[in-house]
Amino acid sequence: MKRSLTMVLLMFALTGASTTLTIAQAPDNTPRISMTLEHGAHRIGKRIDSKMSRWRNYGFGQFIHWGLYAIPGGHWNGEYYGGAAEWIRSWKGMPNEDYDNLYTEFDPVDFDPKAWAEQAKDMGARYMIITTKHHDGFCLWPSEFTDYDVTNAPYGQDIIGPLVEAYDAEGIDVYLYFSVMDWNHPGYRSKLETAEDREAYEGFKEFTRNQLLELLERYPSTKGLWFDGTWDAAWKEQAEFADNLAMEMREMIPGLIIGSRFRPDDYGNRHFDSNGDLMGDYEQGWERKLPDTYEDTKGNDWDCVMTVPENQWGYHSDWRGHVKTSYELIEMLVKSVSLDGNFVMNFGPNGQGEIRKEERQLAKEIGEWMHKNQKAIYDCGYIDWEKQDWGYYTRNRESGEVYMIVFNKPINGALRIKTPAKINLDKIFDLNGPQKTYRPEEIHRNEYFIHLDEALLETPKVIVIQYSEATNQTKGYDKAKT
Ligand code: FHN
């Protein structure tokens, strides 16, 4: 959102900031009022390097939330916890000391990283985000900077390393989730009110930097960091620290991909700086929700991270309320890609290291669809053809081939296609049966029907459109005189 000049001047007045105002041209050449920010967005527009292009073309990813919270699985002392399982420590029914001692029980004897990676491959995931440390501060890797890690649990071994190795072996890129918020560290503060707070927080910042550099040193094949737990007031004051740390991490791994949840700007704004510009390589605000239109994405790269139940990231043994079906998740995946984003489906393994049967079944069903239709997902993105009720368009960024992904077959079987001017529809055929072609029936200028034969669709159907730029306009149509 671009702030009006009045708003910006008011912000100065209120904050007494010595920031200067500049009048610049926005990418769409509209004059825009922007503040000179030292730690705001350092780039306007998308990253165009090959590593970011690879990220942009993933389409589909897997999130894995795993940690001590998987042991209680949403229950304690026989009581059911209705919140997100990975937040059970915050529940009055779970004494902090009981939670903090769960590490003495962490021994996931069924943990099989190769099986997890194979399942992700079969499902069609092209990247995976693993919680190295969630808000509780328990580290799934041997950290030099804390004893609260996996080596001091009965399991005693690194979890992250074997996962990175197994997923790399399957050709699935690994991203490391890291929660800045750390309930276990004595120096963590949600806000800085006293001199003691500030002194303690300086130690916490150094600890955070040490752990992040340690992760990148231990797992250099990681392609990026997925930050979380950065909404507290204390962190919002750390614009310079976070900016310098991001630069330091990218010196370690050039091209490291970091989303919009990491840095606050000079005024504590996150995701978008005080000028409304995206901070980070992609927007990380789409959590358990999707944009409705391309305009909602502001033309940025973005990912949507999605739980299977309404709000369970970590393992909860008793999923209540609506549990999404594979078709719901496939539609979210397709919609994400149709709006130039990536869709990341969450898995929450249990305390023994098993992936629950519901998630295995979903992975199987989604994988069956992806196996046949991945061409409409991988390396694809948005095309500005008018959205129709039958489903979504995606477009391969290389070949330009367009895919109609049909979820809702009209009663009359007629799928409407409306293109921008001067587009010729050259060839239309089933992705999974190219011998089945469609002759577009022109019903108005740049508007057509293609007619489906099927009585009903068993699964979301993909139809391929090969098109070209027309040299002349289609035949004239009389405009209504109203
Ligand atoms: O509080 C966390 C939550 O537990 C989970 O990790 C999600 C995943 O995106 N992030 C935070 C909530 O926004």
Q: How remote is the CA of residue 132 from the centroid of ligand 1, in Å? A: 13
Question: What is the predicted pLDDT for the residue at 457?
Answer: 87
Question: What is the predicted pLDDT for the residue at 347?
Answer: 99
Alpha carbon nearest to ligand 1 atom 7, residue:
313
Does 41 fall in a domain? no
The type of residue at 34 is S
Q: Specify which residues 345 forms β-bridges with.
A: 62, 306
Alpha carbon nearest to ligand 1 atom 4, residue:
86
Does 42 fall in a domain? no
pTM for the complete prediction? 0.94
| Count of domains forming the chain | 3
My answer on whether 182 and 250 are in the same domain is: yes
Does 317 fall in a domain? yes
Question: What is the predicted pLDDT for the residue at 6?
Answer: 57
Residue 164 has pLDDT above 70, yes or no: yes
- Residues 6+ positions from 193 with CB-CB distance below 8 Å: none
Residue 13 has pLDDT above 80, yes or no: no
Question: What is the predicted pLDDT for the residue at 271?
Answer: 98
Q: At what angle do helices 160-169 and 113-123 cross, to 10 degrees?
A: 40
The 10 Å Cβ neighbour count of residue 3 is 17
My answer on whether 423 and 369 are in the same domain is: no
Band of the pLDDT at 10, cuts 50, 70, 90? low
Question: What is the predicted pLDDT for the residue at 20?
Answer: 64
My answer on whether 246 and 331 are in the same domain is: yes
Ligand 1 contacts CB of residue 305 (under 6 A): yes
Question: What is the predicted pLDDT for the residue at 2?
Answer: 46
Q: Specify which residues 64 forms β-bridges with.
A: 130, 347
Compute the average pLDDT of residues 246-255. Answer: 98
My answer on whether 76 and 202 are in the same domain is: yes
My answer on whether 339 and 390 are in the same domain is: no
β-strand pairing of 302-306 with 341-347: parallel
Both tokens of 374, joined, read 């991945």
Nearest to 338 by CA among 382, 293, 369: 382
Ligand 1 contacts CB of residue 232 (under 6 A): no
54-95 tens-digit pLDDT: 999 999 999 999 999 999 999 999 999 999 999 999 999 999
Ligand 1 contacts CB of residue 359 (under 6 A): no
Question: What is the predicted pLDDT for the residue at 73?
Answer: 98
- The CA distances from residue 380 to 39, 80, 290, 356, in Å, are 33, 43, 17, 31
Does 476 fall in a domain? no
My answer on whether 389 and 338 are in the same domain is: no
Compute the average pLDDT of residues 418-438. Answer: 96
384-401 tens-digit pLDDT: 999 999 999 999 999 999
* Choice from 62, 180, 228 to test ligand 1 binding pocket (greatest atom count within 8 A of CB): 228
What 8-state DSSP symbol labels residue 479? P
Transcribe 205-217 into DSSP letters.
HHHHHHHHHHHHH
Q: 379, 413, 446 — which closes off a domain? A: 379
My answer on whether 80 and 99 are in the same domain is: yes
β-strand pairing of 402-406 with 461-469: antiparallel
Question: What is the predicted pLDDT for the residue at 34?
Answer: 84
Q: 379, 408, 437 — which closes off a domain? A: 379
117-130 tens-digit pLDDT: 999 999 999 999 99
Question: What is the predicted pLDDT for the residue at 207?
Answer: 99
Which region, left, alpha or beta, applies to residue 276 given φ > 0 means left and ψ of -120 to 50 means alpha? left
Compute the average pLDDT of residues 235-257. Answer: 98
My answer on whether 391 and 370 are in the same domain is: no
Query: What ligand 1 atom has the least distance to the C-alpha of 284?
Result: 9
For position 310, which CATH number holds? 3.20.20.80
- Residue 103 main-chain phi, psi, to 5 deg: -60, -25
Ligand 1 contacts CB of residue 265 (under 6 A): no
My answer on whether 143 and 26 are in the same domain is: no
Q: Specify which residues 405 forms β-bridges with.
A: 392, 462
The type of residue at 293 is T
The 10 Å Cβ neighbour count of residue 403 is 25
Residues 421-437 as b/e (b if ≥16 CB within 10 A, e otherwise) read: eebebeebeebeeeeee
Residue 38 has pLDDT above 70, yes or no: yes
Question: What is the predicted pLDDT for the residue at 3?
Answer: 47
Does 44 fall in a domain? no
Instruction: Supply the range of the domain harboring residue 6.
Output: 2-35
Does 186 fall in a domain? yes
Compute the average pLDDT of residues 234-240. Answer: 98
Which region, left, alpha or beta, applies to residue 108 given φ > 0 means left and ψ of -120 to 50 means alpha? beta
Q: 331, 363, 379 — which closes off a domain? A: 379
My answer on whether 345 and 436 are in the same domain is: no
What is d(CA 306, CA 315) in angstroms, rounded to the nearest whole number?
Answer: 14
For position 389, which CATH number holds? 2.60.40.1180
Residue 43 has pLDDT above 70, yes or no: yes
Question: What is the predicted pLDDT for the residue at 454?
Answer: 84
My answer on whether 339 and 453 are in the same domain is: no
119-158 tens-digit pLDDT: 999 999 999 999 999 999 999 999 999 999 999 999 999 9
My answer on whether 204 and 309 are in the same domain is: yes
292-324 tens-digit pLDDT: 999 999 999 999 999 999 999 999 999 999 999
Residue 21 has pLDDT above 70, yes or no: no
pLDDT, averaged across the chain: 94
Does 481 fall in a domain? no
Span of 13-22, 71-80, 361-370 with lowest mean pLDDT: 13-22
Question: What is the predicted pLDDT for the residue at 110?
Answer: 97
Ligand 1 contacts CB of residue 344 (under 6 A): no
